[in-house]
Structures are given as C-alpha cells and as structure tokens.
Structure 1
Amino acid sequence: MADGISGFDIYAPVFTVSLKGKDFPRESISSIEIDENLDSPAKFTVSLNEIFDINTQKFRWLDDPSISPGTEVGIIFGYASKPGKQSLIKGRIKGINSGFVTTGPSTLTLEGYDYSHDMQKKNEQKLSYKKMTYSEVVKEIATDNNLIPTKIDDTKIKQDDIQRKHNEKDYDFVKRLANQLGFEFFVRGDGFYFREPKDKDKGNVTFKLHNNLLSFSPRMSTANLTNEVQLHAYNKEKKEPITGTANINEIKSSVGIRDLDQIMAKSNSNNVQIRLEGKVVKDEKEAKAIAMAELKKRNQTLIEGTLECIGDPQLRPGMTVNIEKVGERFSGVYYVKSAKHSINESGYKTTLEVRRCL
C-alpha cells in the first residue's frame, strides 16, 4: 500500500502550464495553486514573473494578446521521477491581476476554473425531461457542454417527468439531482462524473503520524447525528402516499466507525428521527434512496479534519485515504472532500479536507 510521496521525490516537483497548447517557460512561473473540491468548480491560480521590455515598452505577459479571460489553460503537476502520477487540470482564465512595484519584479496572476464553471453560466435548454432516468438527463447535459461522460452511474428508475426550475443553470440542476440521490458531481479534465461516493473501501495511500504527515487536525461533533430518516412522499400516478425509511445500520460500511452505535447512544442521537415531506416519487425504491441520501448527509460531519502533507498529485477529491497512529478515536479510513495543491519557491504541498467514512 502506498505511503504517499517521500524520499528524493520531494526535491524535484515538476509542473507545466500551457496556454492554447504552448507551454509557459518554467522560469516565468513563480507559483501555482490548484483547489479542487466536490462542492464547486475546481479553481487554479498561476503567478508569473513579469518582464518589461525597454525597447518595445511592453510587458512580456500582460501585453500578450493570447492571455485573456476565456483562454483555455492546461496544468500538469507532479514529480519528475513519477510521470505516471502526474495530474492534469483543464479550464479557462476568468480573471487577470497585476502587481506593480518599483523595488522588484512585477507579477501577473491568472485565475481560472475548470470547465464545470461554464455550466454555471449556461441557461436551461428545456424545463422538462419525460420518461428518462436521472443518469440519462445528466449525460445529455454533459454532451451539451462538450464534456465526456466519463463516469455516470446508472440510476435505473425512469421518471415520468423530471422538472427543471426556471432560469436554473446546468451546474445547479445537475448538482440538485446529485444531492437528491446522494451522488457527487464534478468535472475532471474533459471528463464529466456523476456517481455514488467511493467511500466504502480502504485507500491506496496511507498517512502515519511522525512519518509522512506534516499535520493533521481532526474534529468530532455529534450535533448532526441522526439515527433514522423517514420520507413521506406522494406517488402522482397511483395517487397515493409512499413512505421510505432509512436506518443508521443501513449506511455502515466495513471501513467505517466501529463504535458508531456507542457514540450515538452516548450523545442521545439514537433517538433522533427526521421526517421529510412534500416530495413526489416514482415508487418505494426511490423514496428509500432519497431517505438514505439524507441520512448519510446528516451523519457525514461526525468526524472531519484537515491534513497537510508533502505534495502528491495522486491525491484528489473523491478518493479514500488511510490515517494511522493518531489515536483510536481518529485513526481510520477517510474520504477526501477537497484537495489544494500549492507549488512555489518553498516546494510542493498538498492540503486535504477529509471526512471519516461511516
């Protein structure tokens, strides 16, 4: 099982920033930051060392016509000795900032987002999707946005009519469907993902205190713990009520918290029940799925934390990692919610926001 990046690798981080397929000179790049998470589009920031040409009276980068909002950018980052582990983010420039000083070199900072950010600007194509599954709907939206449906889990149940809100953007619509199902939605490169969280297996990367952890700050809160969720919905076709119930025992996994029952009992959470009303569903199976998604969401904040380590490009949101030797309460398998990769003159560092698998 891998233990992350170590040894001489930490001294040789590599990165490439390309603009319309043309690479920036490495010496012109002072820092790169890539911030990926499962709740919003991935963001990147690239800082360039600016040069003023006395002969032409122009700045090398600021006055370059190819650098402008909307220009496509590709970023590769990793280590020279591990080309197979390099990662790629693609997106578009959305903002340009300059810093002019008389005592040193000026800088130009490019800010941008991955392609899912464009989906936040795109208005609805249609307000109703009839006789389609959720997965068929999001696949259609992915194609409309020139994205590759890399991983779209089959939701199987065909809906009579999936309604879209007026003026609801593509991103918000897909996000709403994902939240209702307990799915996650994100874009990586040109790939479109709409899937169940991959949080039921041990990770391929293990972190250990006094080994490859720079820092780890876990926190535990039982404020939102819920034992059961009941969904009281309505079947429009049969014109009758439908109930879906999810219990805490149904969302436990083999890599989850062993003493979850004891924690809930001590916090009086074993008696907490949530009742949801007002939804229209196809059948009992869909009602159950919605209740399960809500129950998972309410209990996922039990143990969360922030982890810092030597930069590792294989660490991305949507994967599990193992954290060991941090005490019985906090040692275990965690799911990565966000990953921030920072490369600058000090080296390459990765910061993760994680939650404990249930």
Structure 2
Amino acid sequence: MSDQYAPDYRLQLDGRPISSDLRGAITSVSFTSALEGADRVEIGVANQYLRWTDDPALEPGVQLRLSLGYNPHEFEQVFVGEIVSVQASFPADGLPSLTIAAQDRFERLRNSPKSRWFEFPIPFFRTVPIPDPAIAAMVSAENGFVPVIDPVGAALSIILFGASVVSSVIDDAQIVVRRQEKETDLDFLQRVSRENGWELLIDHSGPLGGRKLRFMSPLDELEPVRTYSYGGSLMDWSPRITTVGVIVSVTAFVRVSAIKTVFQVTVGYDWDRGSLDISIQPAALGEMPTSEEESEDEVGKPNDRSLIIEENLSLVSAPRQILAELIPSLNGRVTGSGSVVGDHALIAGRVVQLEGLGREFGGRYRVTSATHTVDSSGYRTMFEGRKEIWFGSIPALDQGAVSLRAPFVDAEGAVGR
C-alpha cells in the first residue's frame, strides 16, 4: 500500500516533459479548477543563481500541460493552457524565486462585444430561430473550441425549442430568435447555458484537452466519482445551510395572444417532497403587478423568497427564463468546503458523496471548485461543493445521508445510542 502515498505530477512545456534540472528547482505546484472562470496553475521555482530568470521555456505564451496522480498508477491530465505571467522575487535575504502562472483558453471567449441574430429563413414560410445547441456549437467553433454538449442537456434544449416553435405557430405569435446584444461571446454563452440549465467549462482530458468547451448538463452526471467518510478519508468539512437570498418560487406572466389572456405561472420547489410544483391560473384582470408591489405570503407579509418577473412573457420565452432564475438559487441553499488527501479525481463539475455527516449535511455534492497542491508537505486537495436539487431524486440512504444519533451514558456508565 506504500505506493498509494507517493504523490507526483507530470509537467510538459510546449509538448515536451520538463528537464530534470527544472523539476529539481520546482518547490510547489498548485492547480485550481472552478465552474466559474478560468482554470489556473501556479508553479513555484527556486531561482538559484538566477538560472531561470530569462529561460525561454518559462515565457508567457508557452503551452503548459499538467497531470496529477500517485506513482506507479496512471496519471490524469487535469490542465492544458498557456503561461500568462511570470512573477519574480529578489529578496534581500533568502533565495530568489519565480512564480509561473498559467490559465486555460476560457478567457479567450472574453472578446469584443458583438450584436447579432441567430436565425435562418425558410422560403415561403418564415424566419426560424437556430436551436441553442447549434448556436453553442457555432460560437465555440468561431473561437477555436471543439463543442461538447451532454446528451440529456441537448435533448431537453431541443424539446424546449420544438415546443416554442409549435406554440408560436398555434398562438400566431412572433418566434423568439436568440440574440447576442452587445455581449462578449463568454457572456453570451454563459447566458445561453444558464437558460438551458447547462454548466460551461473547459474539458482538459485527452489529446484535445484544453480545446474542448463542454456544455455540461448536471442531469448527465449524478453518480459520484469518490465517496469520503467523516472521521476517515474526509479530513474536514464545513457545510452551510442558508435561506438568505434563496428563491423558492418564481412567478411569471405569460400572454397568450390567441385568446387575449394573461396567465400567472408560478414554479416553486417543495423541500419536503423534493419536487417542483407548477401553478397556472388567469391573472387578475389580465394585469401584472408593478415594480412597487410586493410578493406576499399567506399571512400578508412580504415574501423575499419569491421572485416576480416583471414583464409579460410568451409561451416561447417563459420556461427558460423561469428556470434560469429558479434553479441556480435553489442549488445555493446547501454548500460546503473541506479537504482530503490529494485526489486528482476532484475536478469542478464532478460529484462526490460525503458520509457520516447526518441527513442534512451528508449526501452528494457537486464540486464547484477544487485546489490541488503538491509541495514539501505532500499532496492535498481543498474543495467546495453544493447540494443540487437533482440529488433529491436519489434516496437518502443511497447517498449515505443517514440521520445520526449521539451516544449517551446511562446511570450505570454503559454507552448506548
């Protein structure tokens, strides 16, 4: 079992393994993976005799590949990007050093704002919008990425697209065409992803690692890659449950032109049953509340856990806008942060199962960020996660989310539960 405790890394610069001299000068390697923003690598280098100060292999623009693992097992390629900065330190006392920072290609999407429509005309019919999966693929390719859209997410998006086209024909309403309006490609793709329930991230695996732009559907990835137990493999875990800023219901007003009626559509989440509830009823007098009016609960007090979309929507635009507001908020109710002995499987977007923490705080979490550090202290991983509503469909027992009972000592000194 000793080979389980031999952490190591593989580092390539411009497609070639680093030299033994450079490897001997590296004091630390840190890799951060996150659902929001670019993935990042930082490398500390002891710069004795200023040997590495002007080395061309460490200049900005040089491609960097990082793999993590344990000898003699296989290593996982976790990062492909390029060096973006080199910071030097020349102290009065002590050894000079360099800090090499690299980022993936994610920030290349942050280009100049654009304005355009995504549509194509059909002769003798009308202009038809381009489906979101096709739009995602087009914009990705424009920026040199290979698009990867998870199957379930793509299917749900196509179903919504088909329903919107059919409803617009039945209702004789204008078809809503996706528009990029004074947005960078990054902002635009993030908005499209949010309205489809996707997560936008870079896939670093395989030969095309770093060039694959993945539109991940959480419903495609619900199984855990690792299971950790408190008091064992889970070194520490600090969960947090909050209702502050968590929206539990969204109300929208949908206008149906064919019957000249506005419907009030409310979508809420029932925490006890773990289900989404939908209520549809005609809006009073066909009107919607103004921005000054407050949403109220059954006792007449302002309910800041409900959101009213203050605009009339169509059958086409309502579903995506409601889900874009509701789902991210619900997924932020239970979050946590902790650490384990270094594990390269902990990558943003993946799922872990935490046991021995009780019913509320135990169970499955989506990794939202993970920082892997290899230095003189060994290999450790710190990560953050969130409990998503999708995990509510999985029995608590299967998730290891079991209620705990504290031990007690009776009058005779016997320990029980």
Tell me, yes or no, if structure 1 residue 134 matches structure 2 residue 132: yes
Q: CA deviation at 1:51?
A: 3.4
Q: CA deviation at 1:253?
A: 6.1
Q: Against the structure 1 CA distance between its residues 280 and 17, is the aligned structure 2 distance closer, same or farther, given a 3 Å change threshold?
A: farther
In structure 2, how many angstroms separate the alpha carbons of the residues matched to 1:269 and 1:295? 19
1:105 to 95, 102, 111: 95
Look up the equivalent residue of 2:324 and give its one-letter code.
A
1:8 to 2, 7, 10: 2
State the match for 2:201 in structure 1. Answer: 186
Q: Against the structure 1 CA distance between its residues 235 and 80, is the aligned structure 2 distance closer, same or farther, given a 3 Å change threshold?
A: farther
Q: Deviations over 1:237-266 (max 9, x none)?
A: 999857553221499769xxxxxxxxxx9x
Look up the equivalent residue of 2:87 and give its one-letter code.
N
- Give identity over the alignment, percent: 23
Larger RCO (alpha carbons 8 Å, 6+ apart): 1
Look up the equivalent residue of 2:136 and give its one-letter code.
V
2:323 to 275, 287, 292: 292
State the match for 1:68 in structure 2. Answer: 59
In structure 1, how many angstroms separate the alpha carbons of the residues matched to 2:3 and 2:333? 35
Equivalence map 1:194-209=2 (5 Å): 194-198=215-219, 201-209=222-230
Higher helix share: 2
Tell me, yes or no, if structure 1 residue 164 matches structure 2 residue 154: no
Question: SS in structure 1 opposite 2:327?
Answer: helix
State the match for 2:239 in structure 1. Answer: 218
Tell me, yes or no, if structure 1 residue 331 matches structure 2 residue 362: yes
TM-score (norm 2): 0.71
In structure 1, how many angstroms separate the alpha carbons of the residues matched to 2:54 and 2:259? 65
State the match for 2:172 in structure 1. Answer: none
Question: SS in structure 2 opposite 1:301?
Answer: coil
In structure 1, how many angstroms separate the alpha carbons of the residues matched to 2:139 and 2:79? 21
Look up the equivalent residue of 1:273 and give its one-letter code.
S
Gaps of 5+ in 1: 1-6, 53-58, 255-264
Q: Deviations over 1:215-242 (max 9, x none)?
A: 1111111223443212235689999857
TM-score (norm 1): 0.81
Q: CA deviation at 1:110?
A: 1.0
Tell me, yes or no, if structure 1 residue 246 matches structure 2 residue 237: no
In structure 2, how many angstroms separate the alpha carbons of the residues matched to 1:136 and 1:243? 31
Give the conservation status (yes or no) of the 8 Å contact 2:115–2:179: no
Tell me, yes or no, if structure 1 residue 273 matches structure 2 residue 306: yes
Tell me, yes or no, if structure 1 residue 89 matches structure 2 residue 89: no
- Count of aligned pairs: 329
Tell me, yes or no, if structure 1 residue 318 matches structure 2 residue 318: no
State the match for 1:227 in structure 2. Answer: 248
Give the conservation status (yes or no) of the 8 Å contact 2:12–2:18: yes
In structure 1, how many angstroms separate the alpha carbons of the residues matched to 2:30 and 2:185? 26
In structure 1, how many angstroms separate the alpha carbons of the residues matched to 2:308 and 2:213? 33
Q: Deviations over 1:111-164 (max 9, x none)?
A: 1211111212x2256522122122211111111121111235422117742211
Give the conservation status (yes or no) of the 8 Å contact 1:200–1:253: no
State the match for 1:21 in structure 2. Answer: 15
Q: Larger Rg: 1 or 2?
A: 2
Q: Against the structure 1 CA distance between its residues 328 and 50, is the aligned structure 2 distance closer, same or farther, given a 3 Å change threshold?
A: same
Q: Against the structure 1 CA distance between its residues 106 and 12, is the aligned structure 2 distance closer, same or farther, given a 3 Å change threshold?
A: same
Tell me, yes or no, if structure 1 residue 123 matches structure 2 residue 91: no
